[in-house]
Structure 1
Amino acid sequence: MCGFAGFTTFAPFEKRQATVTLRAMCDSIRHRGPDGEGLFVDADRGVALGHRRLSIVDLSETGNQPMESPGGRFCAIFNGEIYGYLSIRQELLAKGISFRGTSDTEVLLAALETWGVQAALERLNGMYAFAILDRQTNRMIFARDRLGKKPLYLGLQNGTLFFGSELKALRAHDDFAVADVDQEALGQFVRYGYIPAPRTIYRGVVKLTAGTFLEVDLSRPPASAEQLAHSSQRFWSCEDVAANGLASPYRDDQTALNAIEDALTVAVAERMIADVPVGTFLSGGIDSTLVATIMQSLSDTPVTSFTVRFDDEATNEADFAAAIARHIGTDHHEVTATPKMALDLMDQLPHVYDEPFADPSQVPTLLVSQLARSHLKVAMSGDGGDESFGGYARYPRMLLFEKLGRKMPRGLARALSNAPIGLVNVLTTVLHPFAPGRLRGELSADRISKLASIISHREFRQRYDNFCSLWDPEDVLSGKVNERSAFLSQVLPGNLGRADEMMLLDSLIYLPEDILVKVDRASMSVGLEARAPLLDHRVVSAAWRSPASLRFDGKRGKVALHRLLEKRLPTSLFDRPKQGFGIPVNDWLRGPLKDRAAAMFEGDSGLNRYFDPSELRQRWNEHLSGERNWGAHLWSAMMFGCWHETWMQPMPNVASQTPALQGSAHPN
């Protein structure tokens, strides 16, 4: 696990200054790889590759990067882990290929040289992103893992292509010292609280989409970053996995359960391989509990586990996590997330998430990562269970809303969604005794208005997009809105049911661009590697081949995982409604975060350049009065404001700095 950065000018450059620039880019992501630095500069080709190392596998110098293949064809910078690489290594050894060390990066290079890019990527299992110089074809090769666990950014300005594991590495290059906000990306952020690939917050910078690779000819600069994004090629498709799985399901429940259990056990075992200790996050939910339980069953010593405790009992699962830890025998640790901690982290968040990002669970994720890093370098996570096994609470709600939508006239729904909140409040009070039991505890004026807004749309995809949206960009942005919904523009297979459609959309968009961004940036900000066995592509494939009733039965999700866990733990330890993993943002904005928010919404901040100040102030005042709960919306605006204050200033000019060169730069 590491971080990398680099650039190419598509023409020869001056080596010394290129090395200074490259080191500045790598220094900006030192947190991703605190154990060492490596630089490679080919001045004749105009290519500079830099790497920061977090030593996990092959701690010796033979694991250092940038790494060249034995024949000298490739030079690679690689971020991530390839699981099961030892079996691929044995296969390559049988072909007469020799290795200097024991790292997975060396296996990657040999695989590329032996089978070619597409075939090698189809064989590799892991979480990774890489940039590789191919001297034979005079190309740069970029790739990102199947499900998007590891990030890869590509930017083009002033004839220079720059790339890296985080946007801050690109901003450290002089050609990117001054940046412009991409208005379409801003619209997507306002809608979702994150920015789906391939866009980023910066104009002229894109993310490589999960499960794709890209080859760039070093003799011909690309026309634009957008052209780069559209030139990528797929080597794996979650859409195909879903369609094929539904078309060729397992014959019965037990066959499916056995397949899921076998795949997950292998995935956990492979992720326990490291030359340093491996721990696990343990929230107390089904996903992390199943991973921790399997992990402990494979270990001869107590596994170290970590969780976050909240002051607010509505979001607190720490007592369950502690009870589970006692039962399975892990060495358990916890940290309490307090409002003061959130305040203390506010200034760190825009540095950790260096484009606007507004999932409130970013705070506890950062806290638990800091706790885990104080003990070790690697921790398992339970990410991926909700998307593949139907675990989100919004799935049964959306199916219920779909039924209501077929019964309620859309005209009435539109009228309700546009009605004054006071009137909706009165209607809510009147209707409360007559509501179905499943909904009665959730009825509020805010939720009735949101429900009416969802039902007012004609198509199911539009309704789900509305459910997953915060703001409508046209309501709150002050400039021209040119935003295309990521959910509506996604092309999906034709054999999906409603629940399948939601799960696949979340796998393609929400998972890589929210959940995995959150975990990667939080963990890597403190030099911690997070591994997710439920995101092994074999587990995902087994999930989609399972009968629908084992994924989401219409009322409850993760049925298969629940049944696998029943074999290992008393149901009293885990059989309860799903709880979130976020701060109580509504209460905190009225309490300990109030002054910080007021300064942003009531003062003259960078928000006013992009957001309608009167709209923000109105919602802020409604929230403070208790009339409405706009916590998630206001948190997203705050996160944009904090990001703008931090990153929309010109960066220091690296070319004007002349530090003494340190470390090593490979010769041409």
Structure 2
Amino acid sequence: MCGIAGVWRKRDPIGAGDLSDIARMMQALAHRGPDDHDSWNGARLALGHRRLTIIDPSPAAREPMLTSDGQGVLCYNGEVYNYRSLRKTLEAEGLDFRTVSDTEVVLQALHHWGVEKAVPLFDGMFAFAYLDQRDGALWLARDRLGIKPISVADTADRLLFASEDKAILACHDVPRRVDARELTLRLAWQSRDSSYSVFEGIERLPPAGLWKISDGGIEKRRFWHVLDVLETSRIVDDRTSDAEHMASLEALLEQSVELHCIADASLATACSGGIDSGL
């Protein structure tokens, strides 16, 4: 699962108070990553990571992870299932790797190809913060369906972000006020997507959110939307038999399960009453 936390200073450099807040945020996220933890800070950014070890348990795969030149920094939660094929492509383009983790593949892809080219290539569930020190930009991203969370609080002097609201609330200058409107909407609708927080001053990246933070402020965008990739002509003109559809579905499920089983830790299956378990 893992947990990420960060403090971005809008003007002043990172100080002792920011580092104390990172420590408090990491403590609030300890349940997400009991296996390891570490932190990193630069001129205007401080990062913390709690690790649940699934792929490459070695200390070399610890996060926050830096590129060999120190110009790229990644704090990452989730798993990119096609990381092995991405790694082969990157190696063919001359890049070397020091771990067998998917984290390093994500970092190298972001740094080598650029964020806007790399992120759409990731097949998985993820939330991450990536700092490109070559231009000073901080990028926050969330997977297409919003499986992995990332909360953000934009204050006067800082931008705070973390895997859960509770980590942001642990910081010293964040008020704990419930958003009455949001609470009312949740009670009225009996559902709400994961883009909204019940606390005032906290928002969340939407599914497929890709935010660029720089001196110019926050540039919010999305790198994917289901309506953009829906092939209506294929659906309308489909003449495939039920048997062929069932065979295709079974093949897709087997491929998906095989990708999910890539791990250096013990695996377990939990069946619920949902669509995936029913299938």
TM over 0.5: yes
SS at match of 2:173: helix
Question: Any conservation in 1 of the 2:11–2:157 contact (CA below 8 Å)?
Answer: no
Deviations 1:420-458 (A, max 9, x none): xxxxxxxxxxxxxxxxxxxxxxxxxxxxxxxxxxxxxxx
Distance 1:204 1:18 in 2: 18
1:203 partner amino acid: E
The answer (yes or no) to whether the contact 2:131–2:139 under 8 Å persists in 1 is: yes
> How far did 1:274 drift?
0.2
> In the alignment, which of 255, 262, 267 is matched to residue 273 of structure 1?
262
Q: Distance in 1 between matches of 2:89 and 2:14?
A: 42
Which residue of structure 1 aligns with residue 228 of structure 2?
A: 240
Q: Which residue of 1 aligns with 2:12?
A: 12
Correspondence for 2:239 among 231, 245, 251? 251
Native 8 Å contact 1:188 1:196 kept in 2 = no
Alpha-carbon distance between aligned partners in 2 of 1:271 and 1:151, rounded to the nearest angstrom: 19
Residues 72 and 251 of structure 1: CA distance in aligned 2, closer, same or farther (over 3 Å): farther
Deviation at 1:90, TM superposition (A): 1.0
AA of the residue aligned to 1:143: A
Is 1:118 aligned to residue 116 of structure 2?
Answer: yes
Query: Alignment partner for residue 76 of structure 1, among 74, 77, 80?
Result: 74
- Residue aligned with 2:268, SS: strand
Give 1:266's aligned amino acid: Q
**Cα deviations across residues 7-42 of structure 1 (Å, max 9, x unaligned)?**
112123354332222111100010000111110111
Matched residue type, 1:101: T
Once residues 199 and 21 of structure 2 are traced to their aligned partners in structure 1, the CA distance between those partners, rounded to angstroms, is 20
Q: Residue 264 of structure 1: CA displacement?
A: 1.5
Alpha-carbon shift at residue 251 of structure 1 (Å):
3.3
Does residue 208 of structure 1 match 2:196? no
Q: Does 1:199 align with 2:196?
A: yes
1:14 to 1:8, Cα distance in 2 relative to 1, 3 A: closer
- Cα shift at 1:286: 6.3
Higher normalized strand content (fraction of residues) = 2
- Residue 163 of structure 1 corresponds to 161
Greater Rg by CA: 1
The 1:286/1:67 distance shift into structure 2, 3 A limit, reads: closer
Equivalent position of 1:189 in the other structure: 186
Taking structure 2 as the reference length, the TM-score comes to: 0.92
| CA distance in structure 1 between the partners assigned to 2:111 and 2:244 by the alignment | 38
Q: Which of 155, 172, 175 lines up with 1:174 in the alignment?
A: 172
Partner of 1:27: 27
Report the Cα distance in structure 2 between the residues aligned to 1:283 and 1:179, rounded to whole angstroms: 34
Q: 1-side partners of 2:249 and 2:68: how far apart? A: 39
Q: One-letter code of the match for 1:185?
A: E
Shift in alpha-carbon separation, 1:148–1:286, aligned structure 2, 3 A: closer
> For the structure 1 residues 114 and 255, does the alpha-carbon distance in structure 2 shift closer, same or farther, using more than 3 Å as the test?
farther
Give the aligned partner of residue 39 of structure 2. Answer: 39
Summarize the Cα distance change of 1:279–1:9 in structure 2 as closer, same or farther, 3 Å threshold: same
What's the offset of the Cα at 1:136? 1.2
Q: 1:153 to 1:286 in 2, by over 3 A?
A: closer
1:233–1:255 CA distance, 2 compared to 1 (3 A): farther
Cα deviation, 1:543-569, whole Å, max 9, x if unaligned, reads xxxxxxxxxxxxxxxxxxxxxxxxxxx
Q: Indicate conservation of the 8 Å contact 1:185/1:195, yes or no.
A: no
1:42-57 alignment, distance < 5 Å: 42=42, 44=43, 46-57=44-55
- Would the aligned equivalents of 1:26 and 1:169 in 2 still touch at CA under 8 Å? yes
Which residue identity is paired with 1:179?
A: R
Report how far residue 73 of structure 1 moved.
2.1
* Partner AA of 1:30 in structure 2: A
Q: CA deviation at 1:206?
A: 0.8
Q: CA distance change for structure 1 residues 241 and 18 in 2, over 3 Å: closer, same or farther?
A: same
Sequence identity percentage = 35
- CA-to-partner distance for each residue in 1:239-259, whole Å, 9 max, x for gaps? 2234x2x32134313443333
Distance 1:286 1:213, change over 3 A: closer
- Distance, in Å, in 2 between the alignment partners of 1:286 and 1:214 is 31
Deviation digits for residues 575-634 of structure 1, max 9, x if unmatched? xxxxxxxxxxxxxxxxxxxxxxxxxxxxxxxxxxxxxxxxxxxxxxxxxxxxxxxxxxxx
| CA shift for structure 1 position 71 | 2.8
Secondary structure at the aligned position of 1:174 is classed as coil
Q: 1:69 and 1:18, CA in 2 relative to 1: closer, same or farther beyond 3 A? A: same
Task: Judge conservation of contact 2:111–2:132 (CA < 8 Å) in 1.
Answer: no
Correspondence for 2:88 among 75, 87, 90: 90
Aligned to 2:253: 264
Deviation at 1:119, TM superposition (A): 1.7
* Structure 2 CA distance for aligned equivalents of residues 133 and 284 of structure 1: 40
Q: Distance in 1 between matches of 2:14 and 2:213?
A: 22
User: Structure 1 CA distance, aligned partners of 2:168 and 2:273?
Assistant: 38
**Which amino acid is 1:268 matched to?**
V
Which runs of structure 2 are paired with 1:560-575 in the superposition (5 Å)? none
Change beyond 3 A, Cα 1:286–1:145: closer
Gaps of 5+ in 2: none
2:142 counterpart of 1:149: no
SS in 1 for 2:120: helix
8 Å Cα contact 1:160/1:175 also seen in 2: no
The Cα RMSD (Å) is 1.9
Mark the runs of 5 or more structure 1 residues left unpaired by the alignment: 223-227, 291-668
Structure 1 pair 285–193 and aligned structure 2 pair: CA distance change class (3 A): closer
Matching residue's letter, 2:119: L
Amino acid at match of 2:234: S
Match of 2:271 among 277, 282, 297: 282
TM-score with structure 1 length normalisation?
0.40
Report if the CA contact (8 A) 2:5-2:49 is conserved.
Answer: yes
Report how far residue 202 of structure 1 moved: 1.9
- Measured after TM superposition, the shift of residue 140 of structure 1 is 0.9
Give, as a single letter, the amino acid of the residue that structure 2 aligns with 1:84. Answer: N
2:60 counterpart residue number:
62
Query: What's the secondary structure of 2:24's corresponding residue?
Result: helix
**Which string of whole-angstrom CA distances, capped at 9 and with x for unpartnered residues, describes residues 382-433 of structure 1?**
xxxxxxxxxxxxxxxxxxxxxxxxxxxxxxxxxxxxxxxxxxxxxxxxxxxx
Structure 2 distance, partners of 1:181, 1:10, is 26
More helix by share: 1
Opposite residue 161 of structure 1, the aligned amino acid is: L
Q: Tell me which amino acid in the other structure corresponds to 2:102.
A: D
Map 1:300-379; keep pairs closer than 5 Å: none
Distance 2:103 2:116 in 1: 17
Give CA deviations for 1:89-135 in whole Å, capped at 9, x if unaligned: 11111111001101111001111122221221111100100011111
